[in-house]
Structure 1
Amino acid sequence: MKRYVLMLALLGGVLASCSKNEEETKKPLTPEVPQAPQGGLVEAGKAYIVLPEVGGANQPNQVYVDLSSGKMTKIKRDTWDLAFYCGEDFRVLLNASLAMSVKPTEYTDITKFVVPDRSILFEDDPRFPAQKLISKHLIDDPRGILQEQTGLEGTGTAIAQVSSTEEANKVYLLNMGSEISTTTPEVGGVNLQGAHRGFMKIRITRSGNDYKIAYAKNDELEKINTLTITKNPEYNFIFLNLSSGKTVQVQPKKKDWDLCFTPSTSWFSTQKEKIASPSNSVTYFPDMIISNLHGGTKATIFQSSDKSEEKRNQEYSAYNKEKALRIDFSQEKYNNQMIIGRNWRDNQLGNLVRNELYYLIKDGDGNHFKLKILSMKNDKGERGYPAFEYELLK
């Protein structure tokens, strides 16, 4: 119990504003290192800097970065609600960047009233982030693994696999999450969640190789909207905006991005051996870096031998492709889109870059990139302005 209380205290620091003596001093970007090009191909052996436009302390944007070209794709994170998997399986994801969650019902008739349940919401006070039990399976597996794993609660998608048996597909109560906050926090803090976006009810079935979704406000008994979603193998997912009833372009094609900067719901730990721990739980985090697992991107983390930034820079400079090729990314431990996740920043203070770390990224085409994160703030000390340096290894 003491350990759990300690983790609650530590989590409070993740999203809280810090005191001035804790604030990260933003380091000037190295002038001789150019910003990555927005298109074309990066040159192997040459260092580049990338400044993802997350949008400041409210972090309104999701930013997708393609390391091969340096191209960034920015999208406002409330543009979409559900993502429909384009692979062989039939899986649907929630928009984790809005702190969405679901709860299954026991029936298949979507015309029935679904009682709202505020217990599945994530709190909107950034100083006191809510924690939820993994066993309730309110969110998708943050590791990006779509299938449930035997004996591990909360794994797989929160909406069950869409079955070819019509009657097996239940109605779900859908928590639409929170609007993007426009409240400016104290310097060095974040404020992600605005007003609650309400509840809806949804039911997803299959029609051949397509998805069929029926959806409505949770108290609507007659006006039920329906839509067919067709898979596109060039993409990982097709994204749907429930307000407009239209699909929207969110992610680039599956091989055209590697990292996404975004807030997201997640677990305290995404390591397999810690998933079943009673101290593990679900909450909503800022400053996440998610790798394109479904497009074949894998990542790993290195820590400098004496845990210092100076030593990190020395080891980073010496890191080469020969060393990179020794990493066997086929191992199960790398089957995780949250390898970087929130691990790149200090999880106790929440707003300091861990400058002793550097990273190796292998994309879906087999290219290897080394990467180090330079900062997470602008010159005013405002959070939500990340910068990183990377290099294609030759």
Structure 2
Amino acid sequence: MNRFRIIIICCLAVFAFTGCKKDKVDYKYPQPFDGQTVQLPGISGNEEGFYAANSVFVDFSKGVVSTARRDSWNLGLYPGADFKAIINHSMGAMAINTGKTDIAAVGAADSIAITQDLTNGTLDFRSSQSSKRIDPVIGTAAEYLSGLTLVKVGATEGESPVYIVSSGMAGTTRNRIPPATGPIIDPSLLQFPWYKFKVYQTVNGYTVKYGLLNAQAFSPATINKNLSYNFNYMSFNSKNVNVEPAKSLWDIEWTWTTYKDANGKPDSTNNFVMVNYLGGVGAIQYTITATKTFENFTAADLANVKDEDYVRTRDAIGEKWRDLIADPNDATKTKNLSKIKGNLFYVIKDGEGNVYKLRFKTSSNLDGGAMGRPVIEYRLVQGIANPSL
């Protein structure tokens, strides 16, 4: 028995010694995604590529591509210290302040103020007043946010004006509404409904009171501020909705959007690429030369690149990467096909400091691709080890 006790005591001593031994542990944080060639799924269903219904988001460092239907939201509410609201730029929505604060008192008659600016019976971005009815289309994060004055968010319900907003028609086949002349518009005739709404502050965020143009009953929606996102979104059909990924989880967005034409006037455009400028993402455009190409651009080429060289604006890439060419098969002459500019590529710095190079490979049948399903290639140039991964 004593012999067994001695054996047990010796074993316990060995275990105690090895348990006290201090091992060296090397922590290896996951590295950013190396990159890929990927087709962006702009098509949601059976729609033509020109009318691609999805906005597509790409997170370079995690290799994730996600989508959101462009018509899935009406308002975006800013979660920062200020109270700001946006309307749906990806559908070409437009809004007007009725000058009233009683939402029940606003009806179809108030739509006359909008229809007076219609062009050929269409809610046209080229109308003389359109620039007053859309959110900013260019600018840095600070410039964009300071320019969000279209929708006033009141401190109380009584201080909040009532707005009439079109749901937007950009990139859809439903692109006409009844003529501006004649009797007051019956909202039931509008292919995309017009709504009335007002937005006011709450302790943790916003309350939105809304309804169809002639509605008298309202079901307010409460949207709490969530700082993980650039904006917190709502739909007049389903209230809270997810649209953009969290601001740290995307770098570029391919979509339709309100923008400007060649003369700087408000317009809408497809195949538009936004960097996540509100999330700190920036881009540098490079023209390919004999010595500088997408393939041979490496970390060594970043030696003379300063952080301020990265352009952090809404249209840092925008529509610069492609040309629009009239579709030879379009009898209406209203649809333009996209064709990539093969002599350009971009260097992207994400919000965490990772640097990628990006090029567009196809965008329509004019360059060997498919409209609504552009193909991009991005590759890691310089990575930052990130413990959060």
TM, length-normalised to structure 2 = 0.72
Tell whether 2:289 aligns with 1:294. no
Q: Which runs of 5+ in 1 are unaligned?
A: 1-39, 184-194, 270-278, 306-310
Percent same amino acid among aligned pairs? 26
Tell whether 2:243 aligns with 1:250. yes
Deviation at 1:99, TM superposition (A): 1.1
Report the Cα distance in structure 1 between the residues aligned to 2:344 and 2:284, rounded to whole angstroms: 10
Deviation at 1:159, TM superposition (A): 2.8
Amino acid in the other structure paired with 2:115: R
Report the Cα distance in structure 2 between the residues aligned to 1:72 and 1:122, rounded to whole angstroms: 38
**What are the within-5 Å matches in structure 2 for residues 30-179 of structure 1?**
43-44=33-34, 48-55=36-43, 56-114=49-107, 115-116=110-111, 117-118=114-115, 130-133=125-128, 136-143=131-138, 156-157=147-148, 159-164=150-155, 168-178=159-169
Tell whether 2:344 aligns with 1:357. yes
Tell whether 2:226 aligns with 1:232. yes
Maintained 8 Å contact 1:83/1:92:
yes
Q: 2:202 aligns with which of 193, 199, 207?
A: 207
Maintained 8 Å contact 1:369/1:390:
yes
Deviation at 1:318, TM superposition (A): 2.7
Amino acid in the other structure paired with 2:380: L
Deviation at 1:160, TM superposition (A): 3.5
Amino acid in the other structure paired with 1:243: N
Deviation at 1:58, TM superposition (A): 1.6
Deviation track 1:178-201 (CA, whole Å, cap 9, x = no partner) reads 286369xxxxxxxxxxx7412111
Aligned-residue CA RMSD (Å): 3.2
Q: Which residue of 1 aligns with 2:375?
A: 387
Q: Describe the SS at the equivalent of 1:57.
A: helix
Deviation at 1:316, TM superposition (A): 2.0
Q: Which residue of 2 aligns with 1:317?
A: 295
Distance 1:179 1:160, change over 3 A: closer
Report the Cα distance in structure 1 between the residues aligned to 2:308 and 2:129, rounded to whole angstroms: 27
Maintained 8 Å contact 2:362/2:370:
no
Q: 2:192 aligns with which of 161, 185, 197?
A: 197
Distance 1:119 1:356, change over 3 A: farther
Q: Which residue of 1 aligns with 2:312?
A: 335
Q: Which runs of 5+ in 2 are unaligned?
A: 1-29, 44-48, 175-189, 327-335, 383-389
Amino acid in the other structure paired with 2:296: A
Matched pairs, number: 318
Distance 1:202 1:43, change over 3 A: closer
Q: Which residue of 1 aligns with 2:212?
A: 217
Maintained 8 Å contact 1:145/1:155:
no
Q: Which residue of 1 aligns with 2:6?
A: none
Q: Describe the SS at the equivalent of 2:339.
A: coil
Distance 1:327 1:140, change over 3 A: farther
Q: 2:288 aligns with which of 272, 279, 304?
A: 304
Maintained 8 Å contact 2:141/2:313:
no
TM, length-normalised to structure 1 = 0.72
Report the Cα distance in structure 2 between the residues aligned to 1:140 and 1:291, rounded to whole angstroms: 17
Deviation at 1:294, TM superposition (A): 1.6
Maintained 8 Å contact 1:324/1:360:
no
Report the Cα distance in structure 2 between the residues aligned to 1:138 and 1:239, rounded to whole angstroms: 19
Maintained 8 Å contact 2:75/2:233:
yes
Larger radius of gyration between Structure 1 and Structure 2: 2
Maintained 8 Å contact 2:170/2:268:
no
Maintained 8 Å contact 1:105/1:170:
yes
Deviation at 1:100, TM superposition (A): 0.5
Tell whether 2:368 aligns with 1:373. no
Deviation track 1:304-329 (CA, whole Å, cap 9, x = no partner) reads 34xxxxx49x5222322343354444
Distance 1:318 1:146, change over 3 A: closer
Maintained 8 Å contact 1:289/1:341:
yes
Distance 1:76 1:300, change over 3 A: same
Q: Describe the SS at the equivalent of 2:317.
A: coil
Q: Describe the SS at the equivalent of 2:90.
A: helix
Q: Which residue of 1 aligns with 2:11?
A: none
Amino acid in the other structure paired with 2:202: S
